[in-house]
Structure 1
């Protein structure tokens, strides 16, 4: 994708996520496994988005909106081009002072670019959290010392790595690999990158990780860089909200975009991706006749009104950030014991733990979400999944980030539930028996 390049939420028909309490399973209890949880704050730290603060026209001109939108979403990590002097350097300082953390994408003049990163990290320490090599050199070729294309990009990457390592003001700042070269032709990223880097855009309106036709967009992207044995970042991923039919790079409607992005964020974290940058924060320019797909990737429309995806991400981060007073002695354990039964092959689960000691179990089922032939959304029936804690849970609140940041259902003192898992992420907030109730 070319990086160089408050409306009311639509009415929603809430559907029942929990079919009801399961009757006793009968016979001996199924074996329950202790699952280690990822801290919710660590998960939130994987959420990132592309911006274009470097653009001097369109929606990104209003840098105050950019900061306000990120704060509203609960996201602080962005990917953008290195500052160039236009727009003013003060715009980046303003964002950094608002808590924005930058992954800066390299531009042609390496010396000047690194100097700008040094200047910002000096003005606002900790605001530059990574430096990335050149973007998609297959689409945007670079030259270096007589080399062209991928060879030039790979050579430049080693130069970038060396210069970042030698800049004292960037001490500890990791270097992300460039994108756009063929990993099959490269044996090592030693002295080139601290993180492997990849892009993926699900085609044909498909789900990020599982599709019945065999398409596995995220696993394929991660598999392409697995041999380098480095931690991985995904610096571009997304869906554009311009509904289309046909084949290949298809747009979807706004609710389907929200489903795909929510699932992608959760898929990536569950797969161990350090950070996933959705493309992008804002629709760059107006496109009322829907002729330019590039103008529809935003979480917010060009007039800065939030799309369904923005509401859903805000709900997700709000749910995970909401805590209650608790007893310090009750928050020690990082595992939750439970069993999931009847999970379809297309379904996924991921366990998080909030600061107050409560757990959040994410469940989602990657069934078809887009009718490629007709250019219309699809919604498969939710999959009934049995959840058994092995002992009574004090409380289980069920949330759908696509609907609200408030629980849709609440259950108390239950060992077993049957949960209807839809085609997008839902969250079960679990207060174990040894935690105080709320």
Structure 2
């Protein structure tokens, strides 16, 4: 997230500590992609009965679906009152439509009324508040909001990307200034009764190699990760493993981790070290990134950003194309995909305590390529959701066009007969593309983006 100054097209130079930086600049009802596209995807991602015998594995413990949804965050700019964010009702409605409750924004300031933040908080929005240069004032206003709407502050975060936007502090500059300011932020939050229990996220943009501990400075390590060249978030050939690199860079602090900026702008580009892709590829990368982060144990990943800030019909300013929604508030494919994902995970009724279902599934995946990933979730009604995705290349940086590779054929054994298995593709719909009854083994075509296998065990209470 950048300061509200005029945006530029400057691209940051590569370095060991700037892999997470973006551009040097400032910081609804379902709609399918079309009947023809949906039919094509349903055919290409078909699930076929498999005769392959697979050895059952040890039980895998599932992540509760609501805990996974709680890892989903998005960046907002409520203080930008000269563009799309001026309509705070759209902001609230869009977040509710997506099924996302966590946002990252600056603490309320002079450019946007406090009432806008209070309105969002009353609608269930939970803020990670970035501290402004006036530390005392920022923490005071955050405390005021948390007192007005208890539980609305999820975290307080230190200064943003001080390598790009240096903040002087008591005669210090650069990394020493940022680190000293972070210690003051930590102490002030800890001594503010209205913020009791609110965690402190670290600042971003300092020289990680020169720091060995975050004691008395942060409760969570914090990084930014922007895949370059249209790369997938974790498996890129050629290129860097962007999300893993961000995570690994702060593991030495032995703290839980958050990624407070991640994303792709939907302005197709070619060339070296660019991140512009088309809208369909943006949807794939963002959805995969959410899954990758959760699978790696990241507490929360905030996608940059909710809305395209201003119109840019001639595609001259990449900064105006990061949104999940366009400037006119119409959802991009990525917004539909997120809504479909959260809709699938939220369907069903909470199981009764007397009929509690098990929370493990002894599934096995065979023929998974190195670029493929899986994550097991469990819905509140006890059904499992096995997410699979294969991070093959999605963008040709030489031509600035999307590419598609054949899906990986993966054999799945559920460890026991499932009474029902439904296949979902969030990029297409929130309804199943295929359904199977009384199966133990399936062969699944896993594409370059997340698909979901909803598994109803035969021994599940109520089935």
- Is TM > 0.5 for Structure 1 vs Structure 2? yes
Deviation per CA, 1:343-390: give whole Å up to 9, x if none.
Answer: 000000000011000000000000000011111111111110000123
Measured at CA, do residues 326 and 161 of structure 1 come closer, stay the same or move farther in structure 2, by a change above 3 Å?
Answer: closer
**Structure 1 partner of 2:97:** 72
**Structure 2 partner of 1:406:** 431
Q: 2:463 matched to 1:435?
A: no
2:274 pairs with one of 220, 236, 249 = 249
1:421 pairs with one of 446, 457, 462 = 446
**Structure 1 partner of 2:361:** 336
Provide the C-alpha distance between the structure 2 equivalents of 1:74 and 1:295, rounded to a whole number of angstroms: 23
Q: Counterparts of 1:23-38 in structure 2 under 5 Å? A: 23-25=51-53, 29-38=54-63
Deviation per CA, 1:63-114: give whole Å up to 9, x if none.
Answer: 0000000000000000000101331100010000000000000101111111
Provide the C-alpha distance between the structure 1 equivalents of 2:121 and 2:318, rounded to a whole number of angstroms: 30
Contact 1:282 1:301 in 2 (8 A): yes
**Structure 1 partner of 2:83:** 58
Deviation of the 1:19 alpha carbon: 4.1
Q: Secondary structure of 1:143's match?
A: coil
Measured at CA, do residues 79 and 326 of structure 1 come closer, stay the same or move farther in structure 2, by a change above 3 Å?
Answer: closer
Measured at CA, do residues 326 and 107 of structure 1 come closer, stay the same or move farther in structure 2, by a change above 3 Å?
Answer: closer
Worse-matched range after superposition: 6-15 or 395-404: 6-15
1:311 pairs with one of 322, 330, 336 = 336
Measured at CA, do residues 187 and 422 of structure 1 come closer, stay the same or move farther in structure 2, by a change above 3 Å?
Answer: same
Contact 1:233 1:275 in 2 (8 A): yes
Provide the C-alpha distance between the structure 2 equivalents of 1:22 and 1:310, rounded to a whole number of angstroms: 34
Provide the C-alpha distance between the structure 2 equivalents of 1:180 and 1:378, rounded to a whole number of angstroms: 33
Deviation per CA, 1:106-135: give whole Å up to 9, x if none.
Answer: 101111111100110010000011000000
2:175 pairs with one of 150, 169, 175 = 150
Deviation of the 1:398 alpha carbon: 0.4
Deviation of the 1:410 alpha carbon: 0.4
Q: Secondary structure of 1:154's match?
A: helix
**Structure 2 partner of 1:105:** 130
Q: Secondary structure of 1:389's match?
A: strand
Q: Secondary structure of 1:428's match?
A: strand
Q: Counterparts of 1:118-137 in structure 2 under 5 Å? A: 118-137=143-162
Measured at CA, do residues 239 and 214 of structure 1 come closer, stay the same or move farther in structure 2, by a change above 3 Å?
Answer: closer
Provide the C-alpha distance between the structure 2 equivalents of 1:428 and 1:330, rounded to a whole number of angstroms: 23
1:346 pairs with one of 365, 371, 374 = 371
Provide the C-alpha distance between the structure 1 equivalents of 2:461 and 2:155, rounded to a whole number of angstroms: 40
1:293 pairs with one of 314, 318, 327 = 318
Q: Secondary structure of 1:240's match?
A: coil
Contact 2:79 2:106 in 1 (8 A): yes
**Structure 1 partner of 2:410:** 385
RMSD: 1.4
Provide the C-alpha distance between the structure 2 equivalents of 1:99 and 1:251, rounded to a whole number of angstroms: 32
Question: TM-score when scaled to structure 1?
Answer: 0.97
Q: Secondary structure of 2:183's match?
A: helix
Provide the C-alpha distance between the structure 2 equivalents of 1:413 and 1:3, rounded to a whole number of angstroms: 56
Contact 2:356 2:461 in 1 (8 A): no
Provide the C-alpha distance between the structure 1 equivalents of 2:300 and 2:117, rounded to a whole number of angstroms: 21
2:139 pairs with one of 114, 127, 132 = 114
Provide the C-alpha distance between the structure 1 equivalents of 2:370 and 2:462, rounded to a whole number of angstroms: 34
Runs of 5+ unmatched residues, structure 1: none
Measured at CA, do residues 326 and 80 of structure 1 come closer, stay the same or move farther in structure 2, by a change above 3 Å?
Answer: closer
Deviation of the 1:56 alpha carbon: 1.5
Provide the C-alpha distance between the structure 2 equivalents of 1:371 and 1:130, rounded to a whole number of angstroms: 38
Deviation per CA, 1:29-58: give whole Å up to 9, x if none.
Answer: 513221010000000000000000011210
**Structure 2 partner of 1:321:** 346
**Structure 2 partner of 1:267:** 292
Measured at CA, do residues 6 and 74 of structure 1 come closer, stay the same or move farther in structure 2, by a change above 3 Å?
Answer: closer
Provide the C-alpha distance between the structure 2 equivalents of 1:325 and 1:263, rounded to a whole number of angstroms: 27
Provide the C-alpha distance between the structure 1 equivalents of 2:144 and 2:171, rounded to a whole number of angstroms: 31
Provide the C-alpha distance between the structure 2 equivalents of 1:24 and 1:180, rounded to a whole number of angstroms: 50
Provide the C-alpha distance between the structure 1 equivalents of 2:259 and 2:350, rounded to a whole number of angstroms: 36
**Structure 2 partner of 1:18:** 46
Provide the C-alpha distance between the structure 2 equivalents of 1:347 and 1:3, rounded to a whole number of angstroms: 37
Deviation per CA, 1:125-148: give whole Å up to 9, x if none.
Answer: 000110000000000001112100
Contact 1:327 1:436 in 2 (8 A): no
Runs of 5+ unmatched residues, structure 2: 5-26
Q: 2:165 matched to 1:140?
A: yes
1:90 pairs with one of 100, 115, 124 = 115
Contact 1:400 1:425 in 2 (8 A): yes
Q: Secondary structure of 2:250's match?
A: helix
Deviation of the 1:215 alpha carbon: 1.9
